[in-house]
Amino acid sequence: MFMNILTSPWPWYVAGPLIGLMVPLLLLLGNRSFGISSNLRHICAACLPGKIPFFSYDWKRESWNLFFAGGIVIGGLIAGTLLPNTGPSSIHPQLAAEMAGYGVTYAHAPLPAELFNWPALFTLKGFLLMIAGGFLVGFGTRYAGGCTSGHAIMGLSTLQWPSLVATCCFMAGGFIMANLVLPFILHL
């Protein structure tokens, strides 16, 4: 029973409130902000000996966030080794049919092998999706002053106007990417 709870997806009405309850918990535990993208800055501030102004701050005050990020990595490793999902991804049949039109199937693995493998990385499609896409996500996160979890979960719940603007831009960018850019890339 317990393993079944761990290995199956949690419904939105359970997972969503659990994530949402992190905001008041962090605020009560010392006025801390939820988000993950600032951890790269903390790591660089801790490891880079230079006097770069962007990294010159008291990163030790935010070290709790590094433990949070470490917990995500360790949790992912535990889940990937002890609780692997070897079956096909559970996606909506309409999405599966649309992706099959682009030559992407979900029949044999949790992720589509046509997109997520080492040889695919060295194709134009793989470069655009993994390298250029990763760079744009990182750049956008820095430009927006935070990631989707920081802005959409923490920022909106504390009524911050910049977080509303950033979240609207994240959503608009996601719709444009999914409906206009991704179909073009998948046809390459």
In angstroms, the CA 179 to CA 176 distance is 5
Domain assignment of residue 148, yes or no? yes
73 and 121 assigned to the same domain: no
17 and 78 assigned to the same domain: yes
Split at pLDDT 50, 70, 90, the class of 188 is confident
Higher pLDDT, 95 or 164: 164
Predicted local confidence at residue 108, as pLDDT? 62
Domain assignment of residue 103, yes or no? no
Predicted local confidence at residue 163, as pLDDT? 93
Q: 103-106: long-range contacts (C-beta < 8 A, 24 or more apart)? A: 103/186, 104/186
The model carries a pTM of: 0.77
Domain assignment of residue 186, yes or no? yes
Question: What are the tens digits of pLDDT across the range 49-91?
Answer: 778 888 888 888 888 888 989 999 999 898 888 887 776 667 7
5 and 60 assigned to the same domain: yes
Give me the domain span that covers residue 40: 1-84
Domain assignment of residue 15, yes or no? yes
Domain assignment of residue 91, yes or no? no
Residue 154 DSSP class: I
* 15 has a pLDDT exceeding 70: yes
Residue 57 DSSP class: S
Domain assignment of residue 106, yes or no? no
The number of folded domains in the chain is 2
- Which of 152, 151, 147, 153 shows the shortest CA–CA distance to 21? 153
Domain assignment of residue 60, yes or no? yes
Domain assignment of residue 63, yes or no? yes
Question: What are the tens digits of pLDDT across the range 124-155?
Answer: 998 999 899 999 988 888 888 888 888 988 89
Predicted local confidence at residue 102, as pLDDT? 87
Predicted local confidence at residue 109, as pLDDT? 62
1 and 79 assigned to the same domain: yes
Other CB atoms within 10 Å distance of the CB of residue 151? 25
